[in-house]
């Protein structure tokens, strides 16, 4: 279910981020300029959110029967990596949206609340679409993850007026080896690189990346240096278990011998937004890329064992 939300996010996030500028650039705006920019951003939101929902409804949901409102407990699916993905999406959507509203001259508080809550509001509308589709259902676990992501952004922005701890994402394409596993992966996750990035939870890692200088402002720590902790999982060839069934319920894939494992990581990171440049284009680009974890040497802890990676993404 996260795939359709992520597809919209990747497009809409970078459109929004084109309007993200630092607060100093908005201090000299006149009331007329502020009003004009607010109309522009309001129009982008209406067109972007509304258009994407219409697109989702016509391309995704129309192929499945409509039902009355119902719930679906997917809290244990994919070892919760999809839930962490929901939180990441809500966090970064809110962050980009708030920066966009800040560009209009709004105060930090107002822009933070409007932008920060817009991600969860948008994802909530999609949950309602899920709730009326026979294929899915309303997920309280999804909603909790969405609220966590928005809350992480809003609480930091209101408390510190900066994001000292950022929510990031990384991905590497898995090599499944056996023909049976490769075929199963193609069926579940697609075969192209971008499909795998969005759908293959075995190759996804989500990070909380803390900027050291922001916590120790008098230190000589480089302003761009972060330390990050990550979460991922592997060995998953089904949402709840490594079993595949055909339309009649008969088992056609059974690899319960493969352990489903949680993975934890710690690694240095780079806060790309702290790299100084006079180029507006580069500032915008670096700000957008900051939603992704920078490749770095990494320690992995899985099944009680510690493993090192020279470079991990």
For residue 292, give the DSSP letter. Answer: B
Q: Is residue 108 a contact partner of residue 136, using CB atoms and an 8 Å limit?
A: no
Extract the residue ranges of the chain whose pLDDT is less than 70.
1-27, 59
pLDDT attached to residue 26: 59
pLDDT attached to residue 61: 79
3 by Cβ neighbours in 10 Å (0-12 / 13-18 / 19+) ranks as middle
Q: Using alpha carbons only, what angle is made at residue 45 by residues 39 and 50, rounded to the nearest 5 degrees?
A: 130
pLDDT attached to residue 309: 95
pLDDT digits (tens, 9 = 90+) for 208-223: 999 999 999 999 999 9
Q: How far apart are CA 312 and CA 297, in angstroms?
A: 6
Q: How far apart are CA 26 and CA 20, in angstroms?
A: 11
pLDDT attached to residue 23: 44
- The beta-strand segments (E) located in the chain are 165-171, 204-211, 225-234, 243-245, 251-254, 261-270, 296-302, 305-312
Helix 81-102 / helix 2-17 crossing angle, nearest 10 deg: 20
User: How many beta carbons lie within 10 A of that of residue 163, not counting itself?
Assistant: 21
pLDDT attached to residue 59: 65
Could you tell me the strand order of the sheet in which 225-234 lies? 165-171, 204-211, 225-234, 261-270, 296-302, 305-312
Q: How far apart are CA 73 and CA 244, in angstroms?
A: 19
């Amino acid at each position: 279910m996260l795939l359709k939300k992520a597809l919209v996010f990747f497009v809409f996030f970078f459109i929004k981020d084109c309007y993200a500028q630092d607060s100093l650039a908005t201090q000299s705006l006149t009331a007329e300029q502020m009003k004009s920019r607010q109309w522009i951003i309001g129009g982008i939101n209406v067109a972007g959110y509304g258009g994407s929902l219409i697109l989702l409804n016509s391309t995704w949901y129309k192929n499945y029967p409509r039902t009355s409102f119902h719930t679906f407990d997917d809290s244990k699916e994919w070892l919760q990596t999809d839930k962490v993905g929901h939180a990441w999406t809500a966090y970064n959507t809110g962050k980009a949206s708030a920066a966009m509203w800040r560009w209009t001259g709004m105060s930090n508080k107002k822009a933070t609340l409007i932008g920060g809550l817009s991600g969860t509001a948008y994802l909530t509308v999609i949950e309602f679409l899920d709730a009326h589709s026979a294929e899915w259902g309303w997920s309280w676990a999804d909603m909790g993850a969405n609220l966590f992501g928005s809350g992480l952004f809003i609480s930091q922005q209101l408390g510190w007026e900066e994001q000292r701890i950022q929510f990031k994402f990384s991905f590497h394409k898995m090599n499944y080896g056996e023909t049976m596993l490769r075929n199963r992966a193609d069926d579940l996750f697609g075969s192209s690189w971008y499909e795998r990035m969005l759908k293959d939870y075995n190759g996804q890692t989500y990070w909380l990346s803390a900027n050291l200088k922001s916590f120790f402002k008098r230190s000589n720590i480089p302003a761009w240096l972060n330390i990050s902790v990550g979460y991922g999982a592997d060995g998953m060839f089904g949402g709840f278990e490594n079993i595949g069934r055909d339309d009649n319920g008969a088992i056609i894939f059974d690899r319960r011998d493969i352990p489903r494992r949680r993975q934890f990581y710690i690694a240095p990171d780079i806060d790309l937004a702290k790299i100084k440049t006079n180029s507006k284009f580069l500032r915008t680009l670096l700000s957008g890329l900051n939603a992704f974890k920078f490749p770095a040497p990494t320690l992995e802890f899985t099944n009680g064992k510690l493993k090192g990676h020279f470079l991990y993404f």
